[in-house]
Amino acid sequence: MQIIAKDNHYVVVGLGLTGLSCARYLASQNIPFSVVDSRMQPPGLAQLQKELPDVTISLGAISDEALANANELIISPGVSLAEPAIQRAIDAGVAYCGDIDLFRRVVKAPIIAITGSNGKSTVTALVGEMAIAAGKKVAVGGNIGVPALDLLSEPEPDLYVLELSSFQLERTQPLNAEVATVLNISADHMDRYSDIAAYHRAKHRIFFGCQQVVVNCSDTLSKPLVHDEVKQWHFGLGQPDFKGFGLIKEDGQEFLAFQFEKLMPVTELKIVGRHNIENALAALALGHAAGLPFAAMLSALRDFSGLAHRCQFVTSIAGVKYYNDSKATNVGAALAAIEGLEASVEKIILIAGGEGKGASFDDLLAPVQRACRAVVVIGAEAETLSRLLSPAVNVVKAVTMAEAVATAKTLAKEGDAVLLAPACASFDMYNNYQQRGDDFCTAVTSLKNKSVH
């Protein structure tokens, strides 16, 4: 469907996966556009030049001239709206949007929209699996896997399930989702936002125009201000009530439950940790709001083994379990991993550190003191973490991931777990959290092979 006049000119600001998807979409609609990026070698540049060699690309400092004549700026999530040239263009009246706006303008199928500081990728993937089990044609993407606009290359499905970041949402107009949720909010991206309130406002844009909301009972910051006619569902680890998903305890066993009805034993879940029980309940609430039958959703839950780099079990060595939660790029996610594992192991040897994104690590202190035998610190925040945690627990510094894993092995005792949950971004040492997690898994596998021989 053509929704933008062909005689207008659009500027894609910022490449990467999302910028490249915007360029592909505009080209497919025969809409004239150019691309600008402040970096000289942005991700996706070679692919753009290969696929669309005739597109004008401007690299380096973004000039006013590059933006001033645009009909609309399509700004990638990684680019701050506070960038001076962008702010001047907006102040001059140039319209702007993000990739999700372009997506929303053309799709007809209902959208389940998911955001939150932690757990959103797991919940998004899980809801997608539930929809498949229910026989729905479903497209899953956004901030996970396939960029939203790339989903348009396939026939329209029955349902879209989108993970959305605060960066995407801060420039998105009313999304009008069928179901929307903010799973939780904890301090993250404080190098981008002035304070937690600004981050909260960005996340809550997901609720604009939605028909139904799903709320986390235990996180007041997840509760939106919506009209009374917007249907609300909720989830939490307590006993559920009307329109609620939670846990019922009976004869020493816990069950996932809806309202006052048991659905399935928690022991049938393959994903580990209390945070993943919460993720399962959130997915059930979202799926139920979208009309998915319980039988299909519970079947998907029983089969779901989790995502890579998210409390992913790697292996056991000498009675010690190794878990990769490289996706724990903020303090809240690291806390969820620690608290999720601590009940099932003796003690945790935590590997943490990286690029802190301006966050405070203070909230780590009490859980680490309670649950961890030792902490191995790496990366740019190693010294900061060491100063904070060393009064409470044994802290050892390591330079490489291989050294960190080897050190953790010497500190662990039988029944313990070694957990990579960095509480930091990866960019001081790696290209992304996936590469960091892969490096951890490689180091663990190498260590296991050495212990066998």
Among residues 143, 184, 276, 324, which one is catalytic? Answer: 143
| Sheet strands side by side (includes 253-258) | 138-142, 159-163, 111-115, 179-182, 212-216, 231-235, 244-250, 253-258, 261-265
Greater pLDDT, 339 or 407: 407
Q: In this structure, what CATH number is given to the domain that contains residue 360?
A: 3.90.190.20
- Of 3-17, 177-191, 357-371, least confident by mean pLDDT is 3-17
Is residue 393 domain-resident? yes
- 120 part of the active site: yes
Q: In this structure, what CATH number is given to the domain that contains residue 25?
A: 3.40.50.720
pLDDT of 253 > 80? The answer is yes
Q: Is 275 helix (H, G, I), strand (E, B) or coil?
A: helix
- Give me 408's structure tokens: 């953790």
Same domain, 25 and 133: no
Is residue 5 domain-resident? no
Contacts with 452 (C-beta within 8 Å, 6 or more apart), sequence order: none
* Domain endpoint, select from 271, 303, 335: 303
Is residue 170 domain-resident? yes
* Domain endpoint, select from 70, 97, 124: 97
CB atoms within 10 A of CB 221: 17
Alpha helices (H) in 113-195, listed in sequence order = 120-133, 166-169
Same domain, 157 and 270: yes
Range of the domain at 69: 10-97
Same domain, 229 and 114: yes
DSSP label of 62: P
Q: What is the pLDDT of residue 6?
A: 38
- 279 part of the active site: no
Same domain, 114 and 242: yes
Distance CA(19)–CA(282), nearest Å, equals 30
- Give me 283's structure tokens: 């997915």
For residue range 373-395, list pLDDT tens digits in order.
999 999 999 999 999 999 999 99
Same domain, 111 and 76: no
Confidence of residue 194 (pLDDT cuts 50, 70, 90): confident
Is residue 431 domain-resident? yes
Q: Of 189, 232, 208, whose CA–CA distance to 78 is shortest?
A: 189
Is residue 4 domain-resident? no
- 189 part of the active site: yes
Q: 166 exposed, middle or buried (CB, 10 Å; 0-12, 13-18, 19+)?
A: buried
Dihedral sign for Cα 431, 433, 438, 443, please.
positive
**Beta carbons of 141 and 189 less than 8 angstroms apart:** no
pLDDT of 75 > 80? The answer is yes
Same domain, 109 and 78: no
The DSSP H or E segment spanning 322 is: strand 320-324
Average pLDDT over residues 124-148: 95
Q: What is the pLDDT of residue 2?
A: 35
| Amino acid (one-letter) located at 293 | P
Q: Of 221, 300, 211, 305, whose CA–CA distance to 256 is shortest?
A: 300
Same domain, 186 and 149: yes
Same domain, 177 and 254: yes
Same domain, 130 and 65: no
pLDDT of 1 > 80? The answer is no
Distance CA(428)–CA(401), nearest Å, equals 13
* Domain endpoint, select from 49, 72, 97: 97
Distance CA(13)–CA(34), nearest Å, equals 9
Same domain, 172 and 280: yes
The DSSP H or E segment spanning 155 is: none
Is residue 3 domain-resident? no
Average pLDDT over residues 155-175: 93
Distance CA(349)–CA(331), nearest Å, equals 16
Same domain, 297 and 224: yes
**Beta carbons of 143 and 150 less than 8 angstroms apart:** no
- Could you tell me which residues are beta bridge partners of residue 395? 375
Is residue 347 domain-resident? yes
Question: Can you give the C-alpha Rg of the chain in angstroms?
Answer: 23
Same domain, 236 and 193: yes
Average pLDDT over residues 435-447: 96
Among residues 118, 120, 184, 203, which one is catalytic? Answer: 120
Distance CA(247)–CA(433), nearest Å, equals 32
Q: In this structure, what CATH number is given to the domain that contains residue 198?
A: 3.40.1190.10
Distance CA(234)–CA(149), nearest Å, equals 30
Confidence of residue 228 (pLDDT cuts 50, 70, 90): confident
For residue range 52-61, list pLDDT tens digits in order.
999 999 999 8
Is residue 245 domain-resident? yes
Domain count, the chain: 3
**Beta carbons of 321 and 313 less than 8 angstroms apart:** yes
String of DSSP letters for 204-250 = HGGGTT-SEEEEETT-GGG-----TTSEEEEE-SS---TTEEEEEEE
Among residues 136, 189, 204, 288, which one is catalytic? Answer: 189
